[in-house]
């Protein structure tokens, strides 16, 4: 199955789930920076209620979480799946929360949620950035511009947090052995830098 056909197949399957109003494709597959082994990141948008059991019933092998199973907040839950031998991630997106985050972002307001594997934290405006950057595969979704107020407040917040984030992951010697032993710290530092850049532009 060619990539475009595969993306269309996944989008159609997800769009057919009860309550799903829209489906988007994100990550490197949407930006054009993917490699042959890159995973496929999809988001399903719904209002108020979504039953992960319907996703599980598609029969794709993998792990399907409950709504809120990834800690709640912007990481509202999702699934890690294998479809036709390819890695597929699905993220749950409640449009009630997304619309709230759009309103907050326009006023320059956001939170940073501290979650496992995201040392620098995840900003709540990430769900707004997804709308601007993702490829809408099914349904209709808003396509917000970067809010002027958020441009100021996000830059200020990430700049203020940068010294604290860096202090949690001190640099290690750059020998091959140390790189293997401290790969997690290296990924945390890299994630912190990416998160701060996300505060400047979609």
pLDDT at 91 over 50: yes
Reported as a single tens digit per residue, the pLDDT across 22-43 is: 999 999 999 999 999 999 999 9
- Distance from C-alpha of 169 to C-alpha of 27, rounded to nearest angstrom: 26
pTM (predicted TM-score): 0.80
- Name the residue among 90, 68, 86 with its Cα closest to residue 78: 90
Name the region of 42 (left: φ>0; alpha: ψ -120 to 50; beta: rest): beta
Q: Residues of 4-32 as b/e, b for ≥16 C-beta within 10 angstroms? A: eebbeebbeebbebeebebbbbbbebbee
Reported as a single tens digit per residue, the pLDDT across 112-163 is: 988 766 777 889 999 999 999 999 999 999 999 999 999 999 999 988 877 6
Sorted by where each starts, the structural domains of the chain and their CATH numbers stand as 1-147 (3.30.460.10)
Q: Which two tokens stand for residue 105?
A: 């972002």
């Amino acid at each position: 199955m060619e990539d475009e056909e595969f993306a269309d197949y996944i989008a159609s399957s997800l769009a057919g789930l009860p309550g799903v109003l829209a489906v988007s494709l994100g990550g490197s597959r949407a930006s054009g920076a993917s490699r042959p082994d890159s995973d496929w990141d999809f988001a399903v948008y719904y209002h108020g209620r979504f039953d992960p059991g319907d996703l599980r019933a598609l029969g794709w092998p993998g792990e399907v979480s409950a709504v809120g199973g990834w800690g709640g907040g912007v990481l509202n839950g999702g699934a890690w799946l294998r479809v036709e031998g390819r890695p597929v991630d699905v993220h749950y997106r409640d449009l009630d929360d997304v619309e709230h985050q759009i309103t907050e972002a326009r006023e320059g307001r956001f939170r940073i949620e501290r979650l496992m594997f995201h040392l620098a934290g995840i900003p709540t405006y990430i769900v707004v950035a997804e709308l601007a950057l993702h490829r809408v595969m099914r349904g209709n979704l808003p396509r917000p511009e970067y809010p002027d107020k958020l441009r100021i407040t996000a830059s200020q917040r990430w700049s203020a947090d940068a010294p604290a984030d860096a202090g949690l992951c001190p640099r290690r010697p750059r020998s091959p052995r140390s790189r293997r032993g401290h790969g997690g710290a290296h990924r945390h530092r890299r994630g912190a830098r990416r998160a701060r850049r996300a505060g400047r532009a979609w």
